[in-house]
Structures are given as structure tokens and as C-alpha cells.
């Protein structure tokens, strides 16, 4: 079942972990948040994270921070075969091509590419509609509300609000 058809999260192929990332940007204050989930083919949550951002230039910057944090955590966890999903077509293009090598965020894109290249044996970055990225979106919104510069990563044991946003995605895939 594809995400577009279900309008919710869809499972990755067997043997692949799906990492959904999202960033949130507040233009008036140049702040934001990031969030990510890591799930297996059954939809079981392996890890999640959320954090606050300050000094954010734009929405793409927040999206890139989300992917960078997720890539670092997933690599440290020893994940090997992964699929990153982002609802930012620009971010997907920036980390899978050389099109943004001269942009103001080029150094961040290079850092993400580096972590993707050395941190995983098999990695794919794909675009997904926002409707298919609900849990990561909710975690990014949570990151906005956190204290400046703070973040949380959950492994194995998850707060109820994290379980709830993930359960909303997975339950729709079962219907």
C-alpha cells in the first residue's frame, strides 16, 4: 500500500528501516524544531527524537537539521539499511544531487551527505507528501515548544504522546 493512497505512513521494504524526518520553522523569530521517527517493516517504533532550534534561516534549514540529527542517531545505533523520508522536495534534491553545492546551506548538505555515505551500508532518500509524515511533523512541532537548544531522543521506551502520534500513522495503514 502506498502512502499517497493511504494518506498515512507506509512500511518500508523488508530489511529496511524507515526514518521519517521533519523540520518546523517560525519565520518571525527564526526559530524552529526538528523531529524524526525510525520504524521497521511492521511499523514498530525503534527510536524517535525531537529538538529545539534557534538561529534558523528558513524552512529548508530546519528540514536539514532534522535529517542531520536523525542520520547521526541512526548511525550511532548501528542501523545499516535505511530509507529516509522527507516531505521537503528541496531537501531530497539537496542531499541527493550537487545542485545546492553553492547555496548558503551547502556545508550542512555536505555534512548530511557525509553521514549518509559513511554511516550506512544501504541508504535511500525519498520524498513523501506531508500527509505521510505525520509523526515526524508532530515531533518537530513538539521541538518548537522545548526550551531553547534542548532535544530528546527516545530508544525503546517512549512517552505516551510519541506512542500516540505513531499509533495514528500505523492504525490507518491497518484499515
Spell out the domains of the chain, with CATH numbers in brackets. Answer: 20-162 (3.30.420.10)
pLDDT category of residue 11 using cuts at 50, 70 and 90: confident
Instruction: Give per-residue pLDDT as tens, 109-153.
Output: 999 999 999 999 999 999 999 888 999 999 999 999 999 999 999
Helix (H) or strand (E) holding 148: none
| Global pTM value | 0.92
- Longest CA span, the chain: 45
Q: In what order do the strands lie in the sheet with 31-39?
A: 122-127, 81-86, 17-26, 31-39, 45-54, 151-155
Amino acid at each position: 500500500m502506498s502512502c499517497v493512497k493511504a494518506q498515512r505512513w507506509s512500511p518500508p521494504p523488508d530489511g529496511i528501516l524507515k526514518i521519517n524526518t521533519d523540520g518546523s520553522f517560525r519565520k518571525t523569530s527564526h526559530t524552529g524544531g526538528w523531529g524524526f521517527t525510525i520504524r521497521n517493516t511492521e511499523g514498530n517504533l525503534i527510536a524517535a527524537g525531537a529538538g529545539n532550534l534557534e538561529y534558523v534561516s528558513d524552512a529548508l534549514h530546519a528540514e536539514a537539521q532534522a535529517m542531520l540529527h536523525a542520520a547521526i542517531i541512526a548511525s550511532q545505533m548501528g542501523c545499516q539499511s535505511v530509507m529516509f523520508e522527507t516531505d521537503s522536495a528541496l531537501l531530497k534534491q539537496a542531499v541527493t544531487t550537487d545542485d545546492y553545492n553553492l547555496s548558503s546551506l551547502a556545508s550542512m548538505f555536505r555534512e548530511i551527505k557525509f553521514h549518509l555515505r559513511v554511516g550506512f551500508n544501504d541508504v535511500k532518500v525519498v520524498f513523501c507528501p506531508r500527509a505521510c509524515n505525520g509523526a515526524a511533523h508532530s515531533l518537530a512541532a513538539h521541538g518548537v515548544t522545548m526550551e531553547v537548544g534542548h532535544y530528546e531522543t527516545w530508544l525503546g521506551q517512549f512517552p505516551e504522546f510519541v506512542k500516540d502520534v505513531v499509533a495514528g500513522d500505523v492504525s490507518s495503514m491497518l484499515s
